[in-house]
Amino acid sequence: MRIALDAMGGDHAPGPIVAGAVHALADQPDLQVVLVGDQTQIEACLPTGDFPRDRLEVFHASQTIAMDDSPVEALRRKPDNSISRCWQLLAERKVEAVVSAGSTGAMVAGGLRLKRFLPKVRRPGIATVMPTIRGYCVLLDVGANVYPKPLHLFHYGVMGAIFAKHILHIPHPTIGLMNVGHEEGKGHDLARDTHALFNNSPLKDRFVGNVEGRDIHRHACDVIVTDGFVGNVVLKVCEGVFDFIMKMVGKEIVAPLPNDQRIALNALQGLIDRYDYSEFGGAPLLGIDGICIICHGASGDRAIRNALKVAAQYARLGLNQLIVQELDAIPVPSGIDE
Amino acid sequence: MRIALDAMGGDHAPGPIVAGAVHALADQPDLQVVLVGDQTQIEACLPTGDFPRDRLEVFHASQTIAMDDSPVEALRRKPDNSISRCWQLLAERKVEAVVSAGSTGAMVAGGLRLKRFLPKVRRPGIATVMPTIRGYCVLLDVGANVYPKPLHLFHYGVMGAIFAKHILHIPHPTIGLMNVGHEEGKGHDLARDTHALFNNSPLKDRFVGNVEGRDIHRHACDVIVTDGFVGNVVLKVCEGVFDFIMKMVGKEIVAPLPNDQRIALNALQGLIDRYDYSEFGGAPLLGIDGICIICHGASGDRAIRNALKVAAQYARLGLNQLIVQELDAIPVPSGIDE
């Protein structure tokens, strides 16, 4: 299991990225990590103590794409950037997976440029795991595809369900469509046409129809499909509301307690940790012929370690082969815009 | 001050709607309420005790639009419905405002059918007040316009800022555009074109640029504009996350406390009450020539009472005149699609 890790991507790179790789090597004896980025900077971050140096390789890339660079322009202007080099290693089959906490836009654009998608997939989508009242659900796309067609959202449903089944261990995942109301006919053309596509497909029995924003955390279904604009906003709104309320709870409920402040603070910290994005180990870009995990820009070593774990698990389970089989078994209705 | 109140709209109508009207009459000595809906049902809900019956009128409407009716079809199929009758009273200038907790879609469609918009406004938008770390901000549109043009969002910025200044008492409201990243050039065409429109307008100094989902509750700006699809999803996601976390806090932080459980429970209830939608008294449909307040379907008497208070305040402040003046003072760039 060989994974390319973008050492330069993320708000605090390369320190925590390299540290995450070292932890992951200790966890997984069959893992090999290729750290891609500035060799001098990476080597300065390597631990001085004992670690499996033979399973860690450094692939020098002289350029770095910044978070505020325009993704497509930066990929062109900086040909030797660490993200492109990761994708190149995947394209050459030198690694099975790529992992980055760098610019999501550049990661996606780099993947799209390769045009190495799974058969039948027209546009890959980013899947993210969300906590709910009954466990976890999958939301996709959260930012790869801001102009999807109904067929893209349909494929996101298929891929998200496979992810939910094999990674989240939900035996028969249900699928819902993010919309502005539950009734059929609600929303814009994309929503209406996607609703019809699901309802006229072999996935009909698993399709719960439209879901609203407040249904995510109620766990109205296991997989929620939406366009990359809405999905990205939803993901960040959830993060924002969570942060906001945790601050309020700390200040207004926990701080004034006369006797149990310490106990309440521990419970609050437990809640914050449990819903920390780091736990989920990044978001896979589904539909790529290969494995790609996109991590939060603020990723620390724990998030990177988990992302490497998820990438390896994803490969071992052969999720892409399962996606190909499932898409192959579903006839595409004629006349559908791809 | 005369307001038409849809007595049949809302999950528990007409009971709490009528009760809310009676409370509002007690609060505001210059208020007159026209309860629109089934006369028999309304009269059965009127209190037996003392209340200003002379300032309460019943306008019979024999039909009711259900929450799951298709709005446009229902307006046509049920000509004597309570929502259309409310709008009719406004069109005939018999009331200054309409208030409903019924179908948002039918309220908006009823308002659009009248085509009585403020000068220069092409499409009204629903504004909603959101709690933030520094007070409140305004998000619009949250569901009236799922196919907006950049000029519509620009007008939402102007109208939202007037609302923020006069209702939320923010002296110099700033405006942000909901997008998938902070950098210029992010997002879809609508977002990019709206960004350019603000930046080339007299509102440039108040425009903070793109904001992301996580910026709402951080209070990155006072007014956030977006299309009705995204806004509606955002509003409901916030509700859903809030409910979800409050449940978790109750179960995991408050319930296990050995000594201070009662104190913590009171603080939790205080937090829930403060962010309850009922407090904000509904969401105004801005851009209509008249006042329209749309309430949450689950509205109880407190929410209706507050909505009637906001509608009256809105009229007294002459917000629509301020909107007309401001829009009149801003030149529309030539060649802009209206």
Chain segment B236-294, per-residue pLDDT in tens: 999 999 999 999 999 999 999 999 999 999 999 999 988 876 667 799 999 999 999 99
How far is residue A166's CA from residue A173's CA, in Å, rounded to a whole number?
10
| B180:A240 CB<8 A | no
What is the least distance, in Å, from the CA of B316 to any CA of chain A?
Answer: 33
CA nearest to B307, candidates B82, B6, B84, B93: B6
Percentage, residues of chain B above pLDDT 70:
99
Q: What is the arithmetic mean of pLDDT over A137-158?
A: 96
Confidence band, pLDDT 50/70/90 cuts, at residue B336: confident
Give the chain A residue nearest B133 (alpha carbons).
A244
Radius of gyration of chain B (CA): 21
- pLDDT for A278 equals 62
Q: Could you say which of A133, A244, A270 has the minimum Cβ distance to residue B133? A: A244
Give the chain B residue nearest A178 (alpha carbons).
B233
Helix ranges, chain B (H): 15-27, 39-45, 71-77, 82-91, 104-114, 150-166, 189-199, 228-248, 261-274, 301-317, 319-329
Do strands B125-132 and B97-100 pair parallel, antiparallel, or not at all (unpaired)? unpaired
3-state secondary structure of A63: strand
The residues pairing with B58 across neighbouring beta strands, listed in sequence order, are B35
What is the least distance, in Å, from the CA of B131 to any CA of chain A?
Answer: 10
Q: Could you say which of B188, B245, B271 has the minimum Cβ distance to residue A242? A: B245
- pLDDT for B138 equals 97
CA nearest to B267, candidates B249, B283, B289, B252: B249
Give the chain A residue nearest B184 (alpha carbons).
A70
How far is residue A325's CA from residue B229's CA, in Å, rounded to a whole number?
34
C-beta separation of A37 from A8 below 8 A: yes
Which residues of chain B does A213 touch, with a Cβ-Cβ cutoff of 8 Å?
Answer: 232-240
Which residues of chain A does B218 touch, with a Cβ-Cβ cutoff of 8 Å?
Answer: 240, 243-244
Cis amide linkage into residue A14, ω under 30° from 0: yes
Reported ipTM: the value is 0.93
| A188:B263 CB<8 A | no
CB atoms within 10 A of CB A47: 10
Which residues of chain A does B132 touch, with a Cβ-Cβ cutoff of 8 Å?
Answer: 244
Mean pLDDT of chain B: 94
Mean pLDDT of chain A: 94
Main-chain phi, psi angles of B52, to 5 degrees: -70, 75
- Which of A192, A236, A263, A296 would best serve as a mutation to test chain B binding (most B beta carbons within 10 A)? A236
Give the chain A residue nearest B132 (alpha carbons).
A244
| A230:B230 CB<8 A | yes
How many whole angstroms from its chain centre is CA A240?
A: 18
Q: What is the arithmetic mean of pLDDT over B142-166?
A: 96
CB atoms within 10 A of CB B24: 25
What is the least distance, in Å, from the CA of A322 to any CA of chain B?
Answer: 31
CA nearest to A195, candidates A207, A212, A181, A180: A207
What is the least distance, in Å, from the CA of A28 to any CA of chain B?
Answer: 33
| Residues with Cβ within 8 Å of residue B272, at least 6 apart in sequence | B246
Q: What is the arithmetic mean of pLDDT over A293-321?
A: 94
Q: Could you say which of B133, B212, B239 has the minimum Cβ distance to residue A214? A: B239
A323-333 per-position pLDDT tens digit: 999 999 998 77
What is the least distance, in Å, from the CA of B94 to any CA of chain A?
Answer: 32
Q: What is the arithmetic mean of pLDDT over A183-189?
A: 90
Angstrom distances, CA of residue B171 to CA of A132, B168, B327:
39, 9, 18
| A70:B183 CB<8 A | yes
Radius of gyration of chain A (CA): 21
Secondary structure (DSSP) of B119-136: TT-SS-EEEEEEEETTEE
Residue type, position B201, single letter: S
Residue B331 pLDDT > 90, yes or no?
no
How far is residue B24's CA from residue B30's CA, in Å, rounded to a whole number?
10
Helix B150-166 and helix B319-329: axis angle, to 10°?
A: 130
Helix ranges, chain A (H): 15-27, 39-45, 71-77, 82-91, 104-114, 150-166, 189-199, 228-248, 261-274, 301-317, 319-329
Exposed (0-12), middle (13-18) or buried (19+): which is B233, by Cβ within 10 Å?
buried
Give the chain B residue nearest A183 (alpha carbons).
B68
CA nearest to A89, candidates A5, A14, A173, A149: A5
Confidence band, pLDDT 50/70/90 cuts, at residue A29: very high
Which residue, chain included where needed, has tokens 């409370």? B23
- pLDDT for A211 equals 98
| B229:A234 CB<8 A | no
| Residues with Cβ within 8 Å of residue B218, at least 6 apart in sequence | A240, A243, A244, B132, B133
| B264:A257 CB<8 A | yes
B87-134 per-position pLDDT tens digit: 999 999 999 999 999 999 999 999 999 888 999 999 999 999 999 999
Q: What is the arithmetic mean of pLDDT over A29-37?
A: 97
Q: What is the arithmetic mean of pLDDT over A172-183?
A: 95
Q: What is the arithmetic mean of pLDDT over A36-56?
A: 95
CA nearest to B273, candidates B253, B300, B297: B300
- pLDDT for B277 equals 66
Q: Say which range, B180-184, B205-209, B285-289, has the weakest mean pLDDT.
A: B180-184
Confidence band, pLDDT 50/70/90 cuts, at residue A83: very high
What is the least distance, in Å, from the CA of B178 to any CA of chain A?
Answer: 8
CA atoms within 13 A on the CB side of B58: 20
Q: Give the number of A-B residue pairs with CB atoms closer than 8 Å.
A: 183
Instruction: Characterize B115-140 residue by residue with b for buried, 16 or more Cβ atoms within 10 angstroms of its Cβ, and e for exposed.
Output: eebbebbebbbbbbbbbbeeebbbbb
What is the least distance, in Å, from the CA of A102 to any CA of chain B?
Answer: 14
- pLDDT for B115 equals 85
- pLDDT for A281 equals 77
User: Could you tell me the domains of chain B?
Assistant: 2-121+287-323 (3.40.718.10), 127-276 (3.40.718.10)
- pLDDT for A103 equals 92
CA dihedral (B256, B262, B268, B270) in degrees, to 10, reads: 180
Give the chain A residue nearest B261 (alpha carbons).
A260
| Residues with Cβ within 8 Å of residue A141, at least 6 apart in sequence | A125, A126, A127, A148, A152, A156, A225, A226, A227, A228, A231
Which residues of chain A does B233 touch, with a Cβ-Cβ cutoff of 8 Å?
Answer: 178, 180, 212-213, 226, 230, 233-234
Q: What is the arithmetic mean of pLDDT over A303-307?
A: 95
C-beta separation of B150 from B162 below 8 A: no
Q: pTM of the predicted model, to two decimals?
A: 0.94
Q: Rounded to the nearest 5 degrees, what angle is found at the Cα of B60, between the Cα atoms of B57 and B61?
A: 135
CA nearest to A172, candidates A221, A139, A225: A221
Confidence band, pLDDT 50/70/90 cuts, at residue A275: confident
Residue B117 token pair:
């918009």
- pLDDT for A277 equals 66
| B233:A234 CB<8 A | yes
How far is residue B193's CA from residue B221's CA, in Å, rounded to a whole number?
20
Residue B161 pLDDT > 70, yes or no?
yes
How far is residue A17's CA from residue A7's CA, in Å, rounded to a whole number?
6
Residue B234 token pair:
């955002």
Give the chain A residue nearest B229 (alpha carbons).
A180
The residues pairing with B2 across neighbouring beta strands, listed in sequence order, are B32
